[in-house]
Amino acid sequence: MQRDAAKPKKSEKNINVEKRENPMSLSLDVSAKIYPVNRYLELYSRSLEEPEKFWEEQARELDWFKSWDKVLEWNTPFAKWFVGGRINACYNALDRHLKSWRKNKAALIWEGEPGERRVLTYHDLYREANRFADALLRLGVKTGDRVGIYMPLIPELPISMLAASRIGATFTVVFSGFSSGALADRLNDAEAKVLITADGGYRRGRIVNLKENADKALASCPTVEHVVVYRRTGHSVPFKEGRDIWWDDIVKDSRKYVEPVSVESNHPLYILYTSGTTGKPKGVVHSTGGYLVYVSATQKWVFDVRDEDVYWCTADIGWVTGHSYVVYGPFLNGVTTVMYEGALDYPNPGRWWEIVERYGVTILYTTPTALRTLIKYGDEYPKKYDLSSLRLLGTVGEPINPAAWEWYFNVVGGGRCPIVDTWWQTETGGILISPAPRLGLVPLKPGSATYPLPTIMADVYDEKGRPAPSMTRGYLVIKNPWPGMLQTLFKDPQRYQQVYWSRFEGVYYTGDYAMKDEEGYFWLLGRADEVLKVAGHRLGTIELEDALVSHQAVAEAAVVGRPDAVKGEVIVVFATLRQGYSPSPQLAQELREHVRRVIGPIATPEEIHFVHMLPKTRSGKIMRRVIKAVASQAEIGDITTLEDEASVEEVKKAIETLRAGMA
């Protein structure tokens, strides 16, 4: 975009500024990049008229061994896309780039937490994926078998995924922060034949012993016949003869080329188990053809990726964001992608910004939780590094509160990078609601994911399944099929129907609260089950947390409910403060009054606790379940995915201090 030669006025930032009222009643004056909204809405309307034709055009961007006989076979709630077409995921991610100049282009830039660096070209990845595909074949893995992957964030993780898909095996990646019990549950449900793991990984300067966890899990996993172990840390680990084999040992004699297996479009590419549920984990099954078409298209549309881009999605590959927008989306589009192994603020809070500067990152895609963690360290760290390479910013995983949006836009992006606030789920396979710069930018409203992507018919329903009035909270639903959607839950089609398609007849129930404004913008309000009931009033935790972090002193906040004999539940707040602010009774009272002003008297917190850190998973999600258990003096339960157990002690200590003072 050309800049005016004249110096901008103080209220301008070289892009158009639009002041909008936020539905959460937070006062904002944030810059927004404006393009004619008509361009996108016209394209969106056309896509709804002939959705199958639209997706057929997108599918032709990939390489197929055989074209499809039918674009969509829809028997609600089961969809089959590009029926009869034959394709291979690894071939599309790697082989086809070898026919062009991209053969020697950097595909993956990797940095380990201790500081090691590796750059793999598309040819390098192709070579390694072929070698490991041959290793899997020699271990007896066949098309349709399941391969478990339990690895740190190292290049061999995507190589394992690509190798499995090359031979038509279905992979299931288990997040490396999960416990041995969680790993066993997933391997058993998937009936995995082989497990790929590592001796360990690095996290905050410590070795995470993955092999030890894997061995505990495998004691109750009868279907796993072989375990391939990659040497990451080099520390000594137990080895079971006849079952365990080192990665280096099995690939040293591998063939350099393995013919990619042509699978039918609806062949399962992977199974990804949803976390945080009670009982049996849900194994979300994603197809090959439809999924590849969807993630390839949406990555282009949303991130406007170009050949010269260096793209960094900070997600762990153990989550769906890593599958879709660290591995398959970027590789399908021939993009250079960055992968970093460690914690975002280790060994100091400037680590991420150092990576952006070192590799010239142009697109950054991360979570609001990560941003709020970095905000508390102040502006000093991002301003210490040259972030001028950035041209587009993205968020994922939860609604972004306006204060974090403004910091991301102004401090990280220098007031010049559009923010794509994306909404989607494990089950959707790819982004469904988001700005789409490649298709035409629309005015950005801080906190809104804007509009659905082409062909996606999203709506907000009330309790009775009717469209909710403008700016009224309801349930987000999707009214039509799309190529990236889950096929089913593994071995449990009845549960698939019950969980996603029974709440409202004939539409996909997301389980998220949302609002739609008078201009058709969607505002995501968090999970429908993240709701407190205070004196008969339903209050969303996201709404309360947004109000708290809009105060200049608060970096992060977690809100939970505590049982109360009179009100049913009372609001309990745990907050970390920005640099320059200290805990005090006066500040706690100021925050109570602030929340009253922003939301109303019913939302006044009963307790406010100041802590140095909040309990989070390694993926950066706040563990409200743990906080709620501590606040309610209940059993904490499994905390094996916790980033730092000291954070739980922080919460306990804060509660004890407050209650001692009240005694």
3-state SS of 453-516 is CCCCCEEEECCCCCECCCCCCEEEEECCCCCCCCCEECCCHHHHHHHHHCCCCCCEEEEEEEEE
Look over the chain and give the mean of its residue pLDDT values, rounded to a whole number.
88
Q: Rounded mean pLDDT of 299-316?
A: 97
Q: Nearest-CA neighbor of 551 among 576, 585, 514, 515?
A: 576
What's the whole-model pTM score? Answer: 0.82
Contact between residue 575 and residue 547 where contact means Cβ atoms under 8 Å apart: no
Which CATH class, in words, describes the domain spanning 530-662?
Answer: alpha beta
What CA–CA distance (Å, rounded) separates 203 from 618?
Answer: 9
Six-digit token string for 90: 């690894």
Location of structure tokens 């590009």: 82
Location of structure tokens 């008969």: 536
Query: What's the confidence (pLDDT) of residue 276?
Result: 38
Query: What's the confidence (pLDDT) of residue 619?
Result: 66
Query: What's the confidence (pLDDT) of residue 542?
Result: 80
Terminal-residue alpha carbon distance, the chain: 62
Q: Nearest-CA neighbor of 555 among 600, 624, 612?
A: 612
Query: Of 9-18, 134-143, 324-333, 551-560, which range is least confident?
Result: 9-18
Query: What's the confidence (pLDDT) of residue 428?
Result: 97
Q: Rounded mean pLDDT of 418-438?
A: 95
> Which residue type sits at 538?
R
| Residue 394, strand partner residues | 365, 420
Query: What's the confidence (pLDDT) of residue 647?
Result: 64
Query: What's the confidence (pLDDT) of residue 34?
Result: 39
Query: What's the confidence (pLDDT) of residue 10?
Result: 31
Query: What's the confidence (pLDDT) of residue 639?
Result: 61
pLDDT band at 36 (very low <50, low <70, confident <90, very high): low
pLDDT digit string, tens, across residues 581-630:
999 999 999 999 998 888 777 789 999 999 988 888 766 778 787 888 88
Give the residue extent of every domain in the chain.
530-662
Opening angle at CA 120, ends 138 and 296, nearest 5: 85
Q: Is a pLDDT exceeding 50 seen at residue 26?
A: no
Contact between residue 258 and residue 239 where contact means Cβ atoms under 8 Å apart: no
Query: What's the confidence (pLDDT) of residue 472?
Result: 93
Q: Is a pLDDT exceeding 50 seen at residue 504?
A: yes
pLDDT band at 33 (very low <50, low <70, confident <90, very high): very low
Q: Which residue has the higher pLDDT, 532 or 254?
A: 254
Contact between residue 457 and residue 325 where contact means Cβ atoms under 8 Å apart: no
Largest CA-CA distance found in the chain, in angstroms, rounded: 75
What CA–CA distance (Å, rounded) separates 261 from 265?
Answer: 12
Query: What's the confidence (pLDDT) of residue 534?
Result: 76
Query: Of 40-44, 476-480, 496-500, 621-625, which range is least confident?
Result: 621-625
Count of helix runs (H) and strand runs (E) in the chain: 20, 30
pLDDT band at 491 (very low <50, low <70, confident <90, very high): very high
Q: Rounded mean pLDDT of 545-574?
A: 87
Cβ partners under 8 Å of residue 451, min gap 6: 40, 41, 44, 433, 435, 442, 520, 521, 522
Q: Is a pLDDT exceeding 60 seen at residue 2?
A: no
Q: Is a pLDDT exceeding 50 seen at residue 306?
A: yes
Query: What's the confidence (pLDDT) of residue 104?
Result: 98
> Which residue type sits at 488?
T
Q: Rounded mean pLDDT of 467-481?
A: 96
> Which residue type sits at 163?
A
Query: Of 2-16, 32-46, 504-518, 636-650, which range is least confident?
Result: 2-16
Cβ partners under 8 Å of residue 627, min gap 6: 558, 560, 574, 614, 615, 651
pLDDT digit string, tens, across residues 560-579:
888 877 677 889 999 999 99
Residue 342 DSSP symbol: S
Q: Which residue has the higher pLDDT, 578 or 401?
A: 578
Percent of the chain with pLDDT over 90: 71
